[in-house]
Amino acid sequence: MKLKKPLLMICTLALVAVLAACGSKDTQGDSSASGTANNDTTSTELSGSVLAVGSTALQPLVEQAAQKFMAESQYSKIQVQVQGGGSGTGLTQVAGGQADIGNSDVFAEEKLKDEAKDLVDHQVAVVAMAAVTNPDVGVDNLTKQQLVDIFTGKVTNWKEVGGKDEKIVIVNRPASSGTRKTFEKYALGTSTEDLKGSIQEESSGTVKKIVSESPGAIGYLALSYLDDKVKVVKYEGVEATVENVASGKYPVWAYEHMYTKGEPKPEVKAFLDYIASDAVQSGDVVELGYIPVSKMEVKRDVDGNISK
């Protein structure tokens, strides 16, 4: 018996050692598996391309955000391409699958019929529109009725609204333009026909250039395009400022939408999340003359109704 106890203890210790070794091996196996998973995450880093098409009023923000997004190391394998063409074009292309994102100044329901139900709305900012004139026309305020009379051709000379004796030249946007839709809906309260002799341009940048260089010209632009090359006209005596828009005092504004068809694929979602981030919302959005949705004191639905 005295010989068996030591032998039993030796066997027991040997068994413990074996189990400990197995446990160590299992732990190493788990660690290795964990390392493989981490490597897999790195190897499946997001890549691909994103095409955003549509609103030229939103274009400056999307372009600037895209450049910064692609410069981020974790998104360096994603290529983002941004094109204009107007809100109608953006909505049509995203609904048809030709674009990943349809940028729009208007709700999809205002431009599309059955296709709108398949689109997911990502509201990224608020944009305000203002009437702008050539700096020499001599007018700094227009009423709603005066704007209606100008854009319907009832008033054709600036002297009729307190300005110089100079012919009015209208620089308008095409029917597909969300900027035009917003301006007509909230500034004029009515749709207008394209008048003979008026100029029609798709790009907000081109509109600004023509208005700034053409005697007697009037057009309308998003706040993000305004500078001292054009004269910004007050609407019913109210200036188009961020404060006036946010409070609801200035009515000519709309949400900026980035629509996707269904839920976005991972690389598109990453870009949309980036634009919605605090860094972009408090930085680029404000810097470029837009208003973060979170700063609005009022809301607007698809029918244009305002609520607190």
Q: Which tens digit of pLDDT belongs to each residue from 49-79?
A: 999 999 988 999 999 999 999 999 999 999 9
Confidence of residue 44 (pLDDT cuts 50, 70, 90): low
Q: Which of 247, 279, 297 is the last residue of a domain?
A: 247
Indicate whether 15 belongs to any domain. no
Question: Is the pTM for the entire model greater than 0.85?
Answer: no
Q: What is the pLDDT of the chain when averaged over all its residues? A: 87
Q: Which structural domain range is residue 119 located in?
A: 48-126+255-307
Q: Which tens digit of pLDDT belongs to each residue from 186-234?
A: 999 999 999 999 999 988 899 999 999 999 999 999 888 899 999 999 9
- Determine the length of the chain: 308
Angle at 170 between CA 209 and CA 178, to 5 degrees: 75
Please report the pLDDT score of residue 1 as a whole number: 44
Number of domains in the chain: 2
Q: Do 163 and 152 contact (CB within 8 A), yes or no?
A: no
Q: Which of 228, 247, 266 is the last residue of a domain?
A: 247
Q: Which of 208, 223, 247 is the last residue of a domain?
A: 247
How far is the CA of 99 from the CAs of 9, 84, 171, 294, 308, in angstroms? Answer: 74, 12, 29, 27, 34
Indicate whether 6 belongs to any domain. no
For residues 230 and 262, give the distance between their C-alpha atoms in angstroms, rounded to a whole number: 40
Do 69 and 114 fall within a single domain? yes
Do 198 and 117 fall within a single domain? no
The CATH number assigned to the domain holding 301 equals 3.40.190.10
What is the full DSSP assignment across the chain?
-TTHHHHHHHHHHHHHHHHHHHHHHHHHHHHHHHHHHHHHHHHT---EEEEEEE-TTTHHHHHHHHHHHHHSGGGTTEEEEEEEE-HHHHHHHHHHTS-SEEEESS-GGGT-SGGGGGEE--EEEEEEEEEEE-TTS---EE-HHHHHHHHTTS--BGGGGTS-S-B-EEEE--TT-HHHHHHIIIIISS--PPPTT-EE-S-HHHHHHHHHHSTTEEEEEEGGG--TTSEEPEETTB---HHHHHHTSS--EEEEEEEEESSPPHHHHHHHHHHTSHHHHHTHHHHTT-B-GGG-SSEE-TT--EE-
| Residue 5, pLDDT above cutoff 90 | no
Do 118 and 263 fall within a single domain? yes
